[in-house]
Chain A
Amino acid sequence: MNVIYQSTYYTLYQSVKERSFYVDFGQKMVRMSLCQLLSLRYKVMSIPIESHFDGDLNEHGFEVLLLCNKEHLFVLNTYEILDLKQFVEQSFVALGLSVGAETASV
């Protein structure tokens, strides 16, 4: 297995032998296909981070993340979400499927 990308809390690995990916979430290692990585990206990008800085919208500053058809559940705090957002973005750049934020400001 080789490391594709690493952020403060998370690491993406690729296993050529298994033709799949692994994400180390710290608490556990989750095996993922590219489709599942895309779905992770979609879920993470959809988290409204602004609400974490508004006591009324997200009082406790936590997000619940359900992955891989509800097989895995994570409760993440603001720091972890911020890092995870950056992690998924940069992971796709590292995978060669994204050009990154600078050129792709949509």
Chain B
Amino acid sequence: MKDIARQSMSIKVESMDLLNQQIKMEAHASATYLAMASWCEQNGFFTSAKFFYKQTEEERGHMMKIFEFLVDTGGNPVSPEVTDINHDYSSIVDVFENTLEHEVAVTKSIHNIVKKARELGDLATERFLDWFVLEQVEEENTIRDILDMINVTGTEGVGLQMIDNKVADWID
């Protein structure tokens, strides 16, 4: 009966802190992809813009998934402050290369939380993140495929237009 604290909260506060940081990271990704959509719209890559509109929604979905987990476990989810969103890219290739970099950073961050949760003996958090670990494999793979396609297509002549059209294969 003594343990009111444990009855109110089912994860460790250290996990909660890391998950709040992850909320922020997902929000940052969402905002970054929206900035990329803006860049694509302004530079005539309309299909790629659609791709990034979809990505921005997905990242927000990831954020909300973590947010709800913190609610469910009795934690204190924090609405993130999102700053430093880059809107400048030198080319469409630069956009997708940045995307891959972003996704790799997210993967690392998630793996780090999994390891930490394991250390803490926080099974709930560890298992919760299973979905994210697999999701990141998919996300990285998608962007790598697009970069491969860009490589094969080449950016000379009508290459850029073809690249943009082919991005449609990764929307839906």
Contacts and interface: CB of A to CB of B under 8 A. Distances in A.
Contacts of A42: 76, 78
Contacts of A11: none
Given A38-B13, A39-B76, A97 B2 contact: no
A29 interface: no
B58 interface: no
A39 B9 CA distance: 13
Majority secondary structure of chain B interface residues (helix, strand, loop or mixed)? helix
Interface in B71-117: 74-76, 78, 116
Contacts of B6: 95-97
A98 B78 contact: no
Contacts of B138: none
A62 interface: no
A99 B15 CA distance: 11
Contact of B9 (A20, A97, A106): A97
Contacts of B12: 97-99
Interface residues of B, number: 22
Interface string A66-106: 00000000000000000000000000100111110001101
Contact of B4 (A14, A39, A99): A14
Interface of B: 1-6, 8-9, 12-14, 16-18, 21, 74-76, 78, 116, 119-120
Interface of A: 14, 16, 19-21, 33-35, 38-39, 41-42, 92, 95-99, 103-104, 106
